[in-house]
Structure 1
Amino acid sequence: MPAETLEFQVEARQLLQLMIHSVYSNKDVFLRELVSNASDALDKLRLEKLRDDSLDADVSDLHIEIDVDKDARTLTVRDNGIGMSYDEVGQLIGTIANSGTAQFLKELREAKDGANTEGLIGQFGVGFYSGFMVADEVTLVTRRAGETKGTRWTSRGEDTYTLEPVDDAPQGTSVTLHLKPADPENQLHDYTSPWKIREIVKRYSDFITWPIRMVPERGSDTDGDKAPEPETLNSMKALWARSRDEVLDDEYHDLYKHIAHDWRDPLETIRLQAEGTFEFQALLFLPEHAPYDLFTRDFKRGVQLYVKRVFIMDDCEALLPQYLRFVKGVVDAADLSLNVSREILQQDRHIEMMRRRLTKKVLSTVKDLMAKNPDKYATFWREFGTVLKEGLVTDPENRDAILAVSSFASTHHDSEPTTLKSYVERMKDGQEDIYYLTGESRQSIENSPHMEAFRDRGIEVLLLTDPVDEVWADAVGEYEGKKLRSVAKGQIDLDAEEDDEGEGEKEKQTEDFAALLGWMKEQLAEDIKDVRLSSRLTVSPACVVSDTGDLTPALENMYRAMGQEVPDAKRILELNPGHALVKSINQAYQEREDRTALTDSAQLLYDLAVLAEGGRPKDPARFVRLMADRLERAL
């Protein structure tokens, strides 16, 4: 097969140009990424050999090799791992097959400095492209284990790349960088320098479980009949297997960066050593920032699984629940089979035991942050609170633990969130329920008509703005014996302790408005199931509320968006008997004025109530006509 010259996919071309022409604060990360890719290839080959003993592949000395040539100004990173086929090279390197590519490129363009861009390099498996930061040309030679033909890929990082088969490629992959001239002012070091290679490997890759060997320097004046032995640059020590006193925080941080492809240090490091009938060690990390693809379907969740320090799989989802998908790290089990699959893990009782222990450990760590380091906790909750609250719905076993570390915006304070425990401690005498209201933003909730009576009486209300809040508040139901009640659902009477005079006034209002309420219920029967007087309104003329057991409109829309059939639930229209508009409509009804005009007024009042809570009138054109007519009369 002759050599082919192919064009990069548009996104790949854009990414290449950004990497080549942007200024990075630390170009050393290219070697970290190439070594990381090589390590992954070795892991994959060892697993393939475990699963298929007939695979024609040499696994006797799996390693990574770094070879520099000063005279030719080349640096080669070589491994004898799984390798790639001809088609895989074209698919994996010529394109970026990821649904989040557009967002990735957008963030890369908008990164304000080198520190920000550095952390984006490895996130979509595009670490290979980082070689173009330091090289004018990159050549890749690879042969997939078990195959006889290899592939050569070459590009100068412009619009095209060359792909051709080769007969003499060794098993694995080698990436050769034809280095740019050193330019210290732009952080472009001499990457043919052995001391620089040692420094980068020690800093970023010392914990890699495969030996990283540096071939003796070529292009030097070294004499001697016998070539010196390759130098192993990394310690290959599993950090999680060493005592806490033996490991520096920087070493933990480097391991996190390697696993998470994050340039920042983790927010918190979590160590766990479980002993007894089933032994395992875990080294987990809470990130400082949420990745931008955290809520996408393609987000890779889970931690790395090892068995007796032998790598088994990346992104082991069975070890942590979905709502802890942001946690990164390593779990090393002593008693699992090396030949284990994801399907087997779902059924393994040992995995379930580990999952429970790890989940409780993560939640207890967050609780410790809350008590001992409020600033760290505030960062954690800002970045991951929305995700953690998913567990209130999906993990009843740990619901109390999640509630204990959850905090919510509240009318008690403009900026600082509150816990449910603090809310309960501040409850007014005689208050039996914890009140909350959901909405799109704090501002829209605070301006809601449903809040008026609570604001006037100084009763605290939780302001819940995340979509998941619609679900968990119903699922949880209560906290420490106090019911969670939406101020937009059911009948709420904040005047339960009224004196006889107040009760008498309420009864008189009910009598005065009874006929109007019955008539409006008939006129609006297509939209509502009842009309009643409200005790929650003090300023607005009307509001719509859901019945106690009904879904809110937002929750109905959420279920429909997920493809679930939800029956339309009619709501309740509440009128403010003290409002001038409501009084006028009642007076007009009692004086038997034009019923057509009254019907229009009733519809307008209902539409205004729907608008006030952020909804949309069923017939916007009619609403506009009615409103224009009323404005014309007023003028």
Structure 2
Amino acid sequence: MSNRIETLEFQAETRQLLQLMVHSIYSNKDIFLRELISNASDALDKLRLESLIDKELQADTSDLHVTIEADKEQRTLTVRDNGIGMSREDVVALIGTIAKSGTAELLQKMKESKDAAASQELIGQFGVGFYSTFMVADRVTLLTRRAGQEEGTRWESTGEGTYVVETVDDVPQGTSVTLYLKPEDTEDQLFDYAAEWKIKEIVKRYSDFIAWPIRMTTERTDEAGATTYDVQTLNSMKALWARPRSEVEPAEYNEFYKHVSHDWSDPLETIHMKAEGTFEYEALLFIPNHAPFDLFMREGKRGVQLYVKRVFIMDDCEALMPNYLRFVKGVVDAHDLSLNISREILQQDRQIQAVRRRLVKKVLGTVKEMLADQPERYRTFWNEFGRAVKEGLVEDRDNQELILDIVSVDSTHDADQPSTLRQYVERMKDGQKDIYYMTGESRGMIENSPHMEAFRAKGYEVLILTDPVDEVWVEQVGAFDGKPLQSIAKGQIDLDSEDEKADTEPEREQAKKDFAELLSWLTGKLSAEVKEVRLSSRLTTSPACLVGDAQDMTPTLEKLYRAMGQEVPHVKRILEINPTHPLVTGMRKAQEQGTDEEVLSETAELLYAMALLAEGGELKDPSRFTRLLADRLARTL
């Protein structure tokens, strides 16, 4: 590169984030060292893997480690590794910008958050740990050389908006980060991060499980005043997932979770398992306490870390965890895989597929146990991840029944407490054969829908489904525990008992005769919009509603497919009218009396439009509707 020294500006969002971090007060600044050590550990993992795959790589892997150096007089702290290192391009791409989706949302949340602990959690979710160094340092210098390359790169910034990148020679393999610590007497009341005791305390608390040695030269003074220097390894280096669960403290699990997830809060649930037999592996999985911002972003990372015989293979191994469980974090250490296995091979590997099946059943089984034994923890889980889990009802037919057992949805039974499908079935009325539900954009819209009238009047519970994925899974699942899932906005609905039907049968037959001519006329008049007009048994107070045939696609599902770029034919629906409503009986009398055809036609058009609006639909010509309605209202004055 011709220009060996450049002064560059941070990406705008990076600059905003730096300012927020530097000028906010956080309850635990110790985290910065954990993040630097975690980055160093990742670099060592990557070098080890690359050296195993690329035998031509010119890199020294004989003593991979992390070194911490502190200078109390100069007030500097350096974290150095001899791992994979970075090229100049890597430095600009990874350090100069935040290459993460959803940064704008992060900034907005941080600005809204008044709580320091909450702000820490937000930062952790985006893995921007390197920038946390500016909470404790006035200036940060990074020196790095990628393994196999000759030239190194020096990066430096005060976090004020610009950074300097310089190409340099004679740089050792790996990366070192030097922090020029803030004075001890600042308003922040910082601990002395150059003090040996403080460094040891942080490493023991947060990084004891790191697989590589973390070394520091310690100073000792004997009784005679003589000073000696010893190189100490500060961490135990024990792979947490390889230890028996009985030997691991909860705090150790929590810190390991933070290491693999870059989250600053403890996990909601820990799953530690070991499989023996034809294919051996250990797994340490975590269900987070809250959903990441990128849970529903296409670019969001998913999958767990894959190791083979303690050798790191890859982050975000999608082959081990289905998309609907993308929030699960952790490690799987397989014993019998090839070290140079690729992502493509993983997708087809029979052993990996077997591991995936076991992991999925274990995660879903753990949630089911949570539902039975720890309902509050389950509610936290479902509030955060339920929408993603329901995707599995469409994607994972093999585990559909297990997923159905842990699904919770809103219900008319309780406005504040969601209900499981099992709880709904236990509350079903005597003689009730179907599980009733309705999909829509919001609870309020569904509760106020004309379709709910008969169900409310007769005390039938209805499930309220408002997530977009609900439109898909209820159609594909079809039934639960042998009970069909029945949309109250589809097909013929008749909630009367056999005795009630017998009592009202004469009235029904008479109504069919009385309204036959009007129904025929309305079907012809509205043929461009509906395929049939019929009398309704589901309405009690509204004049009309729109319903679909049992196998019809819903309007919302039509919109979803079109939003995804799929062309689907428009499905005409059925207009049901209430034979006891004054508007409907008035239309019948007007028709019998020979009222002007234009007046009846406009009334029919208004009747259809009101039914469409009542379910949240969109009118093709809103201005015409308002004009007709205004004219009709004016005639009544």
Please name the residue that 1:357 is paired with: 358
In structure 1, distance between residues paired with 2:634 and 2:518: 26
CA distance in 2: counterparts of 1:112 and 1:306, whole angstroms = 40
Which residue matches 2:263? Answer: 262
8 Å CA contact 2:125, 2:293 repeated in 1: no
When residues 454 and 183 of structure 1 are mapped into structure 2, their CA distance, relative to the original with a 3 A threshold, is farther
Q: Could you tell me which residue of structure 1 aligns to residue 546 of structure 2?
A: 544
Contact 2:451 2:488 in 1 (8 A): yes
Q: Counterpart of 1:147?
A: 149
* Alpha-carbon separation, structure 2, partners of 1:220 and 1:75: 25
Please report how far the alpha carbon of residue 5 of structure 1 lies from its aligned counterpart in structure 2 after TM superposition: 1.2
Query: 1:29–1:118: 8 Å Cα contact kept in structure 2?
Result: no
Judge conservation of contact 1:74–1:192 (CA < 8 Å) in 2.
yes
> Contact 2:101/2:300 (CA < 8 Å) preserved in 1?
no
Post-superposition offset of 1:184: 8.2
> What amino acid sits opposite 1:441 in the alignment?
S
CA–CA distance in 1 between the matches of 2:314 and 2:566?
Answer: 35
Contact 2:127–2:262 (8 Å) recurs in 1: no
Equivalent residue, structure 2, for 1:90: 92
The verdict on how the C-alpha distance between 1:623 and 1:183 changes in structure 2, with shifts beyond 3 A counting, is farther
CA distance in 2 between counterparts of 1:296 and 1:387 reads: 11
| Identical columns (%) | 66
Aligned to 1:201: 203
* Cα shift at 1:223: 7.8
Residue identity opposite 1:397 in structure 2: D
SS of aligned partner of 1:331: strand
Question: Per the alignment, in what secondary structure is the counterpart of residue 91 of structure 1?
Answer: helix
Distance 2:501 2:434 in 1: 22
Aligned-partner Cα distance in 1 for 2:170–2:461 = 75
Q: How many Å separate the matches in 2 of 1:285 and 1:437?
A: 34
Deviation at 1:564, TM superposition (A): 1.2
Letter in 2 for 1:343: E
Gaps of at least 5 residues in structure 2 are none
Contact kept in structure 2, 1:67 and 1:217, CA below 8 Å? no
CA drift at 1:432 = 1.2
Question: How far apart are the structure 2 equivalents of 1:603 and 1:452?
Answer: 23
Equivalent residue letter for 2:624 = R
Q: C-alpha displacement at 1:217, in angstroms? A: 5.4
- Selected match of 2:137 from 135, 143, 147: 135
After superposition, give the CA deviation of every residue in 1:354-393 in whole Å (9 maximum; x if it has no partner).
Answer: 0010111111111111111111111111111111111111
Structure 2: distance between partners of 1:141 and 1:290: 35
Q: Secondary structure at the match of 1:296?
A: coil
- Trace 1:312-391 onto structure 2 (pairs within 5 A): 312-391=313-392
Partners of 1:143 and 1:173 within 8 A in 2 = yes
- The structural deviation recorded for 1:222 is 12
Q: Which runs of 5+ in 1 are unaligned?
A: none
C-alpha offsets along residues 170-227 of structure 1, whole Å, 9 cap, x if unaligned? 11111100000125863511000011001111111111111111133599999869x6
Question: In the alignment, is the contact (CA less than 8 A) between 2:49 and 2:311 conserved in 1?
Answer: no
Give the whole-Å Cα distance in 2 for the aligned partners of 1:330 and 1:2. 41
| In structure 1, C-alpha distance between the alignment counterparts of 2:44 and 2:110, rounded to whole Å | 30
**Residue 346 of structure 1: how far off its partner (Å):** 0.4
* C-alpha distance in 1 between matches for 2:303 and 2:177: 29
Aligned to 1:417: 418
Q: Return 216-225 or 356-365, whichever deviates more.
A: 216-225
- Partner SS for 2:153: strand
C-alpha distance in 2 between matches for 1:43 and 1:551: 51
Provide the C-alpha distance between the structure 2 equivalents of 1:90 and 1:206, rounded to a whole number of angstroms. Answer: 31
Partner Cα distance (2:375, 2:98) in 1: 40
Contact preservation (8 Å) 2:126, 2:262: no
- Check whether the contact 2:434–2:485 (CA below 8 A) recurs between aligned residues: yes
Q: Secondary structure at the match of 1:11?
A: helix
Pairing partner for 1:171 from 170, 173, 190 = 173
Question: Which residue number corresponds to residue 468 of structure 1?
Answer: 469
Q: In the TM superposition, what is the alpha-carbon distance from 1:500 to its structure 2 partner?
A: 3.5
Letter in 1 for 2:302: R
Task: Give the root-mean-square deviation of aligned CA atoms.
Answer: 1.8
TM-score (norm 2): 0.97
* Structure-2 residue corresponding to 1:458: 459
Give CA deviations for 1:568-616 in whole Å, capped at 9, x if unaligned.
1111111011100111111111111011111111010100000000111
Name the SS of the counterpart of 1:215 in structure 2: strand
**What residue in structure 2 maps to residue 478 of structure 1?**
479
1:501 CA drift (Å): 3.8
CA distance in 1, matches of 2:36, 2:299: 23
Q: 1:32 matched to which residue of 2?
A: 34
Give the whole-Å Cα distance in 2 for the aligned partners of 1:16 and 1:2.
26
Q: Write the distance in 2 (CA, Å) between the matches of 1:108 and 1:187.
A: 22
Q: Does 1:633 align with 2:635?
A: yes
What is the DSSP-based 3-state SS (H/G/I as helix, E as strand, rest coil) of the residue aligned with 1:230?
strand
Residues 388 and 249 from structure 1, CA distance in 2 versus in 1: closer, same or farther, beyond 3 angstroms? same
